Amino acid sequence: MDKTSSDTRVKGRFAPSPTGRMHLGNVYTALLSWLSARSAGGTWLLRIEDLDPQRSRYEYARLIEDDLHWLGLDWDEGGLDGTGAAGPYSQSRRHDIYLEYFSRLRDTGLTYPCYCTRADIMATQAPHQSDGRVIYAGTCRPHALPCYADEPQRPHATRLYVPDEDILFTDMVYGPQSVNLARKCGDFVVRRADGAWAYQLAVVVDDALMGVSEVIRGNDLLQSAAQQIYLYRLLGLEPPQYGHLPLLCNSERRRLSKRDRSLAMDELRQRHTAAEIIGMAAAAAGLIPHPMPISPAELAATFSLKAVRPTGNIIIPDNFV
């Protein structure tokens, strides 16, 4: 089912990086994305975002699939076995596809080789954002664009020029957004110096070719949506609708991570039923007033993304489970 088909149903997706076992925060993201697609009578796909060979593990991808199955969050397309027309559904197996779109991007004349090391970037960066993200100062930016320079042999990253203008879009949770990429991140990397594909390029190519019409994910990627919309524009592809979610945080106000052992799926599965864990994620999202056993299908019957408040982060108290 790709964009060329006449299927106009919503197609949502879950795109985990297999770098660890899922925790309640991942369950919450998967559940809301599943509910949004299913409550609209749509389909849902699973894509394994294993671009980073150092951190990704096949066994984690298997465990993610097992946890989703066990929770009752079923997918119609994708996964490690890659059923569906737009596969493969693991990013590590999509190199040739990214290469094709990377050359299309280079043909725009807006990409250029960048030789900066991490240390160079830290030393020359423009003042960086309060969240610690770095704004590239444009050190390697060519004096004149378009840049159709032959790719030199020396190892280099490839960056994409970004214009000093606002990218406008409406987020399904956070409402109207206006992001100036020049001020927020500067020219960004589309291919790393070691040849690895940048997340921004891969996610756009994948969501577009897989016919994804709706992207529900954590609000840490809200700015990325603007980078992605810019890439869609340059590649002549149609962007999906975006809906970003408040992040679940622990009582120290840090985003849930592998360190929060009591909320990791291996621990949770030993002490709770699938319906109880779904109830915890639903309560964290504000879909039900307090945690109680409930199935994804029961939640889908009355689900609306409007129930998710566009707040900052959601704190999970220590006694939550």
State the alpha helices, DSSP H only, in 20-167: 24-39, 58-71, 95-107, 118-124
**CB-hemisphere CA count at 13 Å for 258?**
6
Two tokens at 268?
A: 């949770």
Tell me how many residues contact ligand GLU (CB under 6 A).
7
Q: Rounded to an integer, what distance in angstroms lies between the CA atom of residue 270 and that of residue 52?
A: 30
Q: Radius of gyration (Cα) for the chain, nearest Å?
A: 20
Q: Rounded to an integer, what distance in angstroms lies between the CA atom of residue 277 and that of residue 258?
A: 17
Is 258 assigned a catalytic role?
Answer: yes
Task: Enumerate residues 197-226 that contact ligand GLU by CB under 6 A.
Answer: 203, 217, 221
- Residue from 7, 268, 38 nearest 30 by CA: 38
Q: Out of 11, 12, 17, 101, point to the residue binding ligand GLU (CB under 6 A).
A: 17
Task: Enumerate residues 30-49 that contact ligand GLU by CB under 6 A.
Answer: 49
Q: Which is nearer to ligand GLU, 49 or 67 (CB)?
A: 49
Active-site position among 3, 11, 184, 258: 258
Q: Among the candidate windows 10-18, 35-43, 68-76, 245-253, which touches ligand GLU by CB under 6 A?
A: 10-18
DSSP 259-294: T-GGGBHHHHHHHS-HHHHHHHHHHHTTSSSS----
Please return the burial class of 114, using the count of CB atoms within 10 Å of its CB with bins 0-12, 13-18 and 19+. Answer: buried
Q: Among the candidate windows 12-20, 124-132, 133-141, 278-286, which touches ligand GLU by CB under 6 A?
A: 12-20
Please return the burial class of 293, using the count of CB atoms within 10 Å of its CB with bins 0-12, 13-18 and 19+. Answer: middle
Q: Among the candidate windows 11-19, 159-167, 234-242, 259-267, which touches ligand GLU by CB under 6 A?
A: 11-19
Shortest CB 126 distance to ligand GLU, Å: 26
Q: Which is nearer to ligand GLU, 17 or 111 (CB)?
A: 17
Site membership for ligand GLU, residue 23 (CB under 6 A): no
Shortest CB 156 distance to ligand GLU, Å: 25
Site string for ligand GLU, 43-82 (x = CB under 6 A): ------x---------------------------------
Q: Which is nearer to ligand GLU, 68 or 114 (CB)?
A: 68
Which residue do the tokens 């299913």 mark?
38
Q: Among the candidate windows 13-21, 117-125, 284-292, 293-301, which touches ligand GLU by CB under 6 A?
A: 13-21
Pairing of strands 214-218, 166-171: unpaired
Residues noted as catalytic:
258
Residues that bind ligand GLU (CB under 6 A): 15-17, 49, 203, 217, 221
